[in-house]
Amino acid sequence: MKFFMAKQIEGVSERILACAKQEFLEKGYTDASLRSIAAAADTSTNSIYVRFQDKEGLFSAIVEPVLTEMTERFLKIQEAFCQMDHAAQAAHMAEYADGGTMELVDYMYDHLDEFRLLLDSSYGTRFHNFVDALVQIEVEYTYKYMASVGGPAHLDDAMTQKLLHIVTTSRFESIFEVIRHGMSREEAAKYIELLSR
């Protein structure tokens, strides 16, 4: 009897996460129902609260590990480029940017459902504007690059600063469009190459 109960408990969290992912993909965060998720996972809403606290905790358990790893990878790419001397940075800027972008795109395709959730189903959660954190990193390292190759460490003109932020945001959004448009990984690679050109 003890063994049977242990086997019953095992796998509940995994079932909840799988059913929640499907619910969030189909209905978005706002319209997703914990009651529906619990029913699909053959458990109670209380077991969701015990394991994940609330609906946002459940959503977070699905997307946050993937987003954290992507952000860490992005920072690593930026930092590796920043450590190059200024001549190497100037010589390899384009190929490094393209290679880094494709590394992130490959990572997104390895975790496609999670990024579909982040991009199109996260309204109402703290992840809704997740792209802002990536933009801030890119802008910060753009300033470092400018200083390294002999430009200003910061842009003095507020309009120019806003333009850099807008252009950087646009670039990220254009990359994420490969997922929104349902492109295959191969199509995405061609699109990113074209975009870079």
Q: pTM of this prediction?
A: 0.84
Cβ 131 vs Cβ 139: under 8 Å: no
Report yes or no: 143 and 154 within 8 Å, Cβ to Cβ.
Answer: yes
Contact 118, 130 (CB under 8 A): yes
CA distances from 185 to 4, 78, 98, 126 (A): 43, 23, 15, 28
How high is the pLDDT of residue 188?
A: 94
Q: Which residues of 65-91 are buried (b: 16+ CB within 10 A; e: fewer)?
A: ebbeebeeebeebbeebeebeeeebee
Task: Give the mean model confidence (pLDDT) for residues 88-113.
Answer: 82
User: At residue 86, does pLDDT exceed 80?
Assistant: no
Q: Is the pLDDT of residue 117 over 60?
A: yes
The residue-averaged pLDDT of 95-124 equals 90
Give the pLDDT mean for 188-195. 89
Q: Write the DSSP symbol of residue 126.
A: T
Read off the amino acid at residue 172.
F
Q: Provide mean pLDDT across the span 10-17.
A: 92
Mean pLDDT of the chain: 87
Tell me the three state secondary structure of residue 66: helix
Does residue 124 or residue 150 have the better pLDDT? 124
Identify the pLDDT of residue 91: 73
Name the burial class of residue 111, with classes exposed (0-12), middle (13-18) and buried (19+) by CB atoms within 10 angstroms of its CB.
Answer: middle
pLDDT tens digits along 22-73: 999 999 999 999 999 999 999 999 999 999 999 999 999 999 999 999 999 9
Q: Is 156 exposed, middle or buried (0-12, 13-18, 19+ CB in 10 A)?
A: exposed
pLDDT of residue 98: 67
Highest mean pLDDT among 74-78, 81-85, 96-100, 111-115: 111-115
pLDDT of residue 31: 97
Across 63-87, average pLDDT: 90
Residue 155 has a pLDDT of 65
pLDDT at res. 1: 39
The answer to whether the Cα torsion of 42, 45, 51, 52 is positive or negative is: positive
Give the three-class secondary structure for 151.
Answer: coil
pLDDT of residue 53: 95
- Cβ-contact 81, 89 below 8 angstroms: yes
